[in-house]
A and B are shown apart, each in its own frame.
Chain A
């Protein structure tokens, strides 16, 4: 008994030690963001003389200028439209496809499913050149938000179909059979019975896809050409190229780009963390 107590106390000291260590490590981890925040309030000379110094006066002119010069609002709206529509389309059509592949084991379905799973090994770089050629030189469809959404659907469906497929396999068929006997069509059965059951999976996939599409750079940089179509990562990058030396302005721009994601994270934190952990088990 005595031994047990001693051990528990020992453990709690170790616990505090671990806690302290992890807190310090986390502060080091988040240090780059801290630097962005403090320097976004300074002007160029202040940063060059001391990039680590604390803010002496709150000067928001960097934010006002960055907001205007990045076309922040346009870029934000473009990112919002592209991300939300792509994510919803992927969830809707991938779940239908996965359901169909699970319930109808036709040869063509098995072949398509196999092709989707293996296609996940293809690096985007092996597709981008012919993609630009087909949709640019041949079809002249580039520089258009909707074609980008179309491409996101193509690149995103494999993983989503795969994850939905794994989940739908575990749903018992009896529920659907009962609905079909009651006169529901396949489509009605799917939307009334199956789709609601898929909610947790849908949420996980929506989160994974939001993080991917919102932050993606290479594909939009190839597809969207005109300034008015740029997404947030694109406009931040080009903004950075134009004002390389004005660090305060750049930091303000970076902070403006980070804020929406952090807000999303704070609102969805529980779902994001558990979503990724569930995604890992599958």
Chain B
């Protein structure tokens, strides 16, 4: 009797404090995720209410699908370029903007502005820049590089996505690196100064190793956003020209909602999950290890 009463009391506290969050979280994230694994094992086409369990045959189809692998490799390339350039630019900005020059606050805020605006809007703005403004500039100044729209060139179109993403995210990651630089123990840097270390030595030997935690965070965020990018892709290139920029999210979207092959689309989405999880976990694991050793 007593235990039953205390159980009811506990249940009440649970329901008051954690009930709504738990229920919504389970019904929006966990249940669809698990149901999605099941769907990927069926031949559901999105319309018919009847569908059959077909085992792993969707996964087999996906593994043999050349378009899927093209799209996947394209995404890996895009993510690689973005992670490298975003962090380079962001760290350089952060380093310059913590060196005590005037107007630091305004400059920081200015570089952050692109992050306030959604990928769709940014993509549409840059669509105009690449297809009109730069082409006009190239033609009037006789610059071969810009005379034809990069968006129409399969070799260059991926770079438009990289440029926009670097432009967009470097301001955000800059703030993360600034947080790391500001919280760095001043004594260490002063000691290095007294010992006669120059700027370069200070950055490579002292600052970068101490900044490992900021790099873990910013790389984690860039990796995740990179693999999941959709808005900019849709608004800027829409996968074209000739599917040369169809990144994995867009590929999954088109497979499921346009080609109506939901089962196959969901298998691709699940493969995407496995890969993103594996890559981000590996990255965090190695970065944490590096952090401890340094």
Q: Which A residues lie at the B interface, using CB under 8 A?
A: 15, 18-19, 21-23, 26, 29-33, 35-36, 39, 47-48, 50-52, 93-94, 96-97, 99-101, 104, 106, 108-109, 112, 115-116, 119, 121-134, 137, 150-151, 153-155, 157-158, 161, 186-187, 190, 211, 214-218, 222, 233, 236-237, 240, 247, 250-251, 254, 257-258, 261-262, 264-265, 269, 272-273, 276-278, 280-281
Contact = CB atoms under 8 A, between A and B. Distances in A.
9 contacts: A22-B101, A32-B129, A97-B18, A99-B17, A121-B281, A122-B29, A123-B249, A125-B249, A154-B28
Interface stretch (B148-156, B201-209, B271-279): B271-279
Contacts of A272: 112
Given A109-B18, A158-B25, A281-B183, A126 B124 contact: no
Given A150-B24, A154-B28, A233-B118, A125 B269 contact: yes
Given A52-B137, A119-B30, A130-B36, A280 B179 contact: yes
B1 interface: no
Given A29-B167, A112-B18, A47 B116 contact: no
Interface in B264-294: 265-266, 269-270, 272-273, 276-277, 280-281
Question: 6 closest pairs, A vs B, by CB?
Answer: A154-B28, A215-B118, A100-B17, A277-B179, A130-B36, A280-B176
B67 to A, nearest CB: 16
B273 A96 contact: no
Contact of A277 (B44, B125, B176): B176
B133 A133 contact: no
A273 B96 contact: no
A22 B97 contact: yes
B36 A129 contact: yes
A109 B128 CA distance: 50
A270 B176 CA distance: 15
Interface in B160-184: 167, 171-172, 175-176, 178-180, 182-183
A154 B234 CA distance: 25
Nearest to A116: B25
B116 A262 contact: yes
A44 B168 CA distance: 28
Nearest to B221: A280
B16 interface: yes
Contacts of A101: 18
Given A50-B136, A134-B31, A280-B217, A217 B36 contact: no
B111 A29 contact: yes
Given A251-B128, A280-B175, 15 more contacts: A15-B101, A19-B102, A22-B101, A29-B110, A36-B128, A94-B21, A96-B16, A97-B17, A126-B33, A130-B32, A130-B36, A217-B234, A257-B121, A258-B121, A280-B217
Interface in B235-260: 235, 248-249, 252-253, 256-257
B125 A131 contact: no
A109 B21 CA distance: 12
B58 interface: no
Interface in B104-119: 107-119
What is the predominant secondary structure among interface residues of chain B facing chain A? helix
Given A19-B103, A129-B39, A265-B116, A247 B132 contact: yes
Contacts of A129: 36, 39, 252, 256, 262, 265-266, 269
Contacts of B49: 137
Nearest to A275: B175
B185 interface: no
B214 A280 contact: yes
Given A153-B28, A254-B125, A126 B272 contact: yes
B228 A233 contact: no
Given A15-B99, A100-B14, A122 B33 contact: yes
Contacts of B21: 93-94, 96-97, 153, 157, 161
B68 interface: no
B61 interface: no
Nearest to B268: A125
Nearest to B177: A280
A32 B217 contact: no
Nearest to B133: A51
Contacts of B101: 15, 18-19, 22
B29 A127 contact: yes
Given A97-B18, A218-B231, A51 B136 contact: yes
Nearest to A94: B21
Contacts of B39: 129-130, 133
Contacts of A47: 132
Contacts of B116: 211, 215, 261-262, 264-265
A269 B20 CA distance: 32
B100 interface: yes
A12 B36 CA distance: 60
Interface in B36-63: 36, 39, 44, 46, 49
B142 interface: no
Nearest to B227: A123
A96 B18 contact: yes
Given A127-B32, A153-B28, A217 B227 contact: no
